[in-house]
Amino acid sequence: MSNLIRKYELILKTFRKISLSDNFYYKPVKPKLSDLELITLSITAESSGIDSEYQLFRELRFSKLEGRIERSVYNRRKRKLFPFIEELRKKMAVKMNDQKKYFIVDSMPLEICKNARMTRSKICKDQDGAFPNQGFCASQNARYYGYKLHAVCSSDGVFENFDLSPASVHDIHYLKDIKTQMSDCVLLGDKGYLSSEIQINLFETVKIKLETPIRNNQMNFKTYPFIFKKSRKRIETLFLQLCDQFMIRRNYAKTFIGFKNTILTKITALTTIQYLNKFVFGRNINNIKVNLI
């Protein structure tokens, strides 16, 4: 039995304890591979560093999963299962983030193509209102063409919420969405989230205390607490893990639906490994590169 299949069986066993059913929407003919099994297969592939469907189906040769689903059907059904993958990820995150009061918010660039090709690129231009555009990344001091990943994680390093926006959207606009997703907590952000108006609004509406560094030339300047600086490094580490181990910046998708599904699958794979580390193996949840079997 290959390592891929052993990982698949471990993750499927865990998902069946979380999910209420194996199939999530009506199908005229019962498929050989259930919805939950298909989600498990895609999560297993991402956690194993396989982000190419061609490579995945090569790995499935001579295994018990060979012939249970065609590659084109796999791709089509995976896109339909987007809300159910997010629901599964959310259940794991809620269980790991239970009773947490401190969260970190940040963003990272997701480049679609190089700037020289952006005027003629047709990638992710199939859905109105979700077109990529050009933005500026302050940490890299460079312009890029694509999207921006906004995310909130707990102080332990588990993603609570995330969203995608065109690259030109300012980080502070994501805080408007947070009001409908979180409440009664402390949110740590960098200077990109500095706004006294939004800070007051978050606290008055949903009891979220936004803590950001103050610029040196502002009135009532005070030093940002060291513990907050140290805690903020957790989300930066998660972004680096997504880029390194899960290759989140490598994009094969041509449509926006496929692109956002790929991003969700990679984040869910990261959350799944953390969940297994905590509730199955009893080890540090952020030991992402350890073997699952």
Is the pLDDT reported for residue 291 higher than 80?
no
Average pLDDT for 200-229: 80
Residue 280: inside a domain, yes or no?
no
pLDDT of residue 1: 45
Residue 94: inside a domain, yes or no?
no
> Which of 180, 194, 162 minimizes the C-alpha distance to 271?
162
* Angstrom distance (rounded) from CA 193 to CA 127: 29
* Angstrom distance (rounded) from CA 38 to CA 35: 5
The count of other CB atoms within 10 Å of the CB of residue 270 is: 25
Residue 95: inside a domain, yes or no?
no
Residue 179: inside a domain, yes or no?
yes
Domain boundary among 47, 80, 113: 80
Q: How far is CA 181 from CA 99, 169, 176, 187, in A?
A: 15, 20, 10, 13
Residues of the domain holding 47: 3-80
Residues 111, 238, single domain; the answer is yes
Residues 117, 70, single domain; the answer is no
Tens of pLDDT along 175-209?
A: 888 888 898 999 998 888 888 888 889 999 999 99
Residues 141, 186, single domain; the answer is yes
Is the pLDDT reported for residue 43 higher than 90?
yes
Residues 59, 184, single domain; the answer is no
Residue 238: inside a domain, yes or no?
yes
> Which of 217, 209, 216 minimizes the C-alpha distance to 188?
209
Residue 96: inside a domain, yes or no?
no
pLDDT band at 217 (very low <50, low <70, confident <90, very high): low
Taking a C-beta distance cutoff of 8 angstroms, is the pair 92, 125 a contact? Answer: no
Residues 68, 121, single domain; the answer is no
Tens of pLDDT along 131-181?
A: 999 999 888 889 999 999 999 999 999 999 999 999 999 989 998 888 888
Residues 210, 142, single domain; the answer is yes
Residues 116, 59, single domain; the answer is no
